[in-house]
Amino acid sequence: MSQAANIQTELAGRRIVLGLTGGVACYKAAALCRALTGAGAAVRVVMTDAACQFITPVTMQALSGHPVFTSPWDARPDDGMAHIHISRDADAIVVAPASADFIARLAQGRASDLLSLLCLARPAERVPLLLAPAMNREMWAHPATQRNLRQTVDDGAHVLSVAYGAQACGEIGAGRMLEADQLLEEVIAFFAPKSLLGQRVLITAGPTFEAIDPVRGLSNRSSGKMGFALARAAREAGAQVTLIAGPVALPTPALVERIDVQSALDMRAAVLAHVDAASVFIATAAVADWRPTQYAAHKIKKDGSDQPPALALAENPDILAEVARSPRARAGQLYCVGFAAESGDLLANAQAKRERKGVPLLVGNLGPETFGRDDNVLLLVDEHGATELPRASKRQLAQQLVTDIARRVAGVVA
């Protein structure tokens, strides 16, 4: 299945009220509306008067496929109570952009416009409120705004982070609204079951690069996609995630701490520096088996002798096996998961590798067929036998694997 096909189902059946308040970031709300409906959500849009100065309700009607509400005096509902009906069957209200003024109104429990009115009138225990702030950096940093934000959090709102960067006003700082795809990720994460809440997950991903000289090196074809998908899924499941990544060109999943490394020795050092704080270690990295014994400080030149340089290689340390042998792993305080990319006889190779590495769970896949692809088939091998996770996107497989690991960590037999 392609990743695009998978994305369409991520919010299937969810009903979302998308609120827009006054800010230049309203243009991003149009893309967000599209992203939400594209992910399968049914979206109803509510806009404040100020939002209508930045983008028209017609645009949002076209994108959501439903009429937009802007006024508490809207005569369309039979009983005139738009503020009640809109929120009653919603799974969440997402206010994006949430202006400083709107946040101040929420903090005071005001109800002077339809959006603040319906936020106040929502059944808070079953209709969560997500705020995506958007404002100038000075407004963001102002103690009044920060005080109001804390108040909205105390009152049950879920405040999303802001981005740092160039602002519409020409200044540079914190306060930009997240991009539409990031907001979509946040909404999906919000709904994910929190099966790894309280866990600290350390993940290695991607290839390593073993430098020969300043321009050449030994590496492999690992794209890092599986490890990055696992980092995202683990964070969505409530874990605190640290991702140690070899050289890959993938964006960092939201709220994941990323440490970039090059060589296997760098990766080992980063793992050892972070593993004591972890309760789960997932080694998806395709660590190079060998590294050149010598690094040439300058580019090795052809000398016309027709004699290629002899490369002496040394074996790299096995990071996973080393961590799995550590006292915390042996005492059951650190759950270790390994991966194996094989080119055939998956079951036997994965079983042997599980024993050799000393890990409770080893995830096998057929290497050359999966490198760089968005989908895969996984074979989960533990002491009892093997279970297949059939072909699906790496995103879906990561979600399934995280659920499986959470069960194992909790001591529930998978």
Closer of 96 and 280 to ligand C5P (Cβ):
280
CB of 365 to ligand C5P, least distance (A): 11
Q: Cβ closer to ligand C5P: 192 or 285?
A: 285
Comparing CB distances to ligand C5P, the nearer of 29 and 283 is 283
Burial of 125 (0-12, 13-18, 19+ CB in 10 A): exposed
Least CB distance from residue 85 to ligand C5P, whole Å? 52
Applying CB under 6 A, among 320, 378, 379, 401 the residue interacting with ligand C5P is 320
- Alpha-carbon Rg for the chain, nearest whole angstrom, is 25
Is residue 398 near ligand C5P by the rule CB under 6 A? no
Helix ranges (DSSP H) in 142-179: 143-154
d(Cα 127, Cα 377) in Å, to the nearest integer?
37
**Active-site residue flag, 169:** yes
What is the spatial distance between Cα 186 and Cα 135, in angstroms, rounded to a whole number?
A: 19
Q: Identify the CA nearest to 387 among candidates 370, 373, 401.
A: 401
The Cα–Cα gap between 224 and 79 comes to 55
For ligand C5P, the binding residues in 237-296 under the rule CB under 6 A are 264, 283-285, 287
Task: Determine, following the binding rule CB under 6 A, whether residue 210 of this chain makes contact with ligand C5P.
Answer: no
Indicate the residue among 69 and 339 with the shorter CB distance to ligand C5P.
339
- Closer to ligand C5P at the Cβ: 223 or 284? 284
- Of 42 and 285, nearer to ligand C5P (C-beta) is 285
| Cβ proximity of 51 and 26 under 8 Å | yes
Q: Which residue has the tokens 């409770």?
A: 360
Written as six digits, the tokens of 265 are: 């020795």
DSSP tag of 215: T
Verify binding: residue 178, ligand C5P, rule CB under 6 A. Answer: no
Q: Assess 319 for contact with ligand C5P (CB under 6 A).
A: yes
Binding mask 133-152 for ligand C5P (x = CB under 6 A): --------------------
Distance CA 53, CA 320 (A): 56
The interface region with ligand C5P, picked from 17-25, 67-75, 96-104, 338-346 by CB under 6 A, is 338-346
Contacts of 225 (CB under 8 A, 6+ apart): 250, 372, 373, 374, 394
318, 375, 382, 404: residue in contact with ligand C5P (rule CB under 6 A): 318
378 contributes a contact to ligand C5P by CB under 6 A:
no
Show Cβ contacts of residue 385 under 8 Å, excluding neighbours closer than 6 positions: none
Q: How far is the CB of 44 from ligand C5P (least distance, A)?
A: 46
Is 399 near ligand C5P (CB under 6 A)?
no
Angstrom distance (rounded) from CA 216 to CA 297:
11
Single out the catalytic residue among 26, 33, 119, 169.
169
Angle at 277 (CA atoms; ends 273, 283), nearest 5 degrees: 70
Q: Does 227 engage in binding with ligand C5P (CB under 6 A)?
A: no
Active site residues: 169
> Which positions touch ligand C5P (CB under 6 A)?
204, 264, 283-285, 287, 316-320, 338-340, 353, 357
